[in-house]
């Protein structure tokens, strides 16, 4: 006599569990079948791509910026420490959508500042670098938290893989854009961060 009986229907046929059904139907197809999951996947894919692309764009383009390259690089690297430590706290306190959107806005403020700062005001450059790098570092960290929070457990791995591949593909373009003349890198940074900020408002976080 078996220790665990398989569930049966009235006709006597064995009912397959949800995990087996999802496996047979295709995890990605099942993920996209749900409108909320599909919308979240689109928003997170763009957020991942913008965060990764802009993160490396800032690092590579730093050598072409105004002001002291050593000071600018130090500020850029140091700005990541508090954001990395506080990302989870901010998401817990203010919510995922608001925090992700706000971090993209901070990044945009920094990039716009670098675009319009006068050549005789190089002392302002580290401040705008601080804003831009803090914002993009924050969105990068929040993306990792978001995938585990907004997708069902059975789809979390698939969503993470899709977003990660998209981010890596976008990052390939970062060195190419960084080597172009200003203001192309700054405008590209602002445009991608702006698109990701708008789409982040589409995210649905189920209670």
Convert 150-176 to b/e letters by CB count within 10 Å (16 or more is b): bbeeebeebbbebbbebbeebbeebee
What pLDDT, in 10s, does the model give residues 47-77?
Answer: 999 999 999 999 998 888 888 889 999 998 9
Q: What is the reported pLDDT for 142?
A: 94
Assigned domain for 28 exists: no
Segment 196-200 mean pLDDT: 96
Assigned domain for 11 exists: no
Assigned domain for 25 exists: no
Assigned domain for 23 exists: no
Full residue range of the structural domain in which residue 46 is found = 35-200
Assigned domain for 127 exists: yes
CATH code where residue 171 lies: 1.20.1250.20
Segment 141-154 mean pLDDT: 88
Q: How far apart are CA 110 and CA 10, in angstroms?
A: 64
Assigned domain for 181 exists: yes
Is pTM beyond 0.85? Reply is no
Assigned domain for 48 exists: yes
Domain count, the chain: 1
């Amino acid at each position: 006599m078996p220790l665990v009986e398989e569930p049966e229907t009235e006709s006597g046929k064995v009912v397959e569990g949800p995990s087996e059904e999802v496996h047979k139907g295709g995890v990605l197809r099942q993920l996209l079948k749900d409108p909320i999951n599909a919308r979240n996947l689109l928003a997170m894919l763009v957020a991942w791509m913008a965060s990764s692309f802009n993160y490396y764009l800032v690092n590579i383009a730093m050598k072409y910026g105004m002001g002291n390259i050593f000071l600018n690089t130090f500020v850029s690297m140091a700005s990541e420490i508090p954001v990395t430590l506080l990302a989870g706290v901010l998401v817990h306190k203010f919510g995922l959508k608001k925090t992700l959107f706000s971090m993209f806005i901070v990044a945009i403020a920094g990039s716009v500042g670098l675009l319009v700062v006068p050549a005789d005001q190089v002392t302002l450059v580290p401040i705008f670098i601080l804003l831009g790098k803090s914002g993009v570092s924050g969105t990068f960290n929040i993306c990792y938290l978001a995938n585990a929070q907004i997708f069902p457990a059975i789809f979390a791995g698939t969503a993470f893989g899709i977003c990660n591949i998209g981010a890596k593909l976008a990052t390939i373009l970062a060195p190419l854009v960084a080597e172009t003349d200003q203001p192309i890198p700054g405008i590209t940074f602002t445009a991608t961060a702006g698109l990701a900020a708008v789409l982040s408002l589409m995210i649905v976080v189920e209670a």
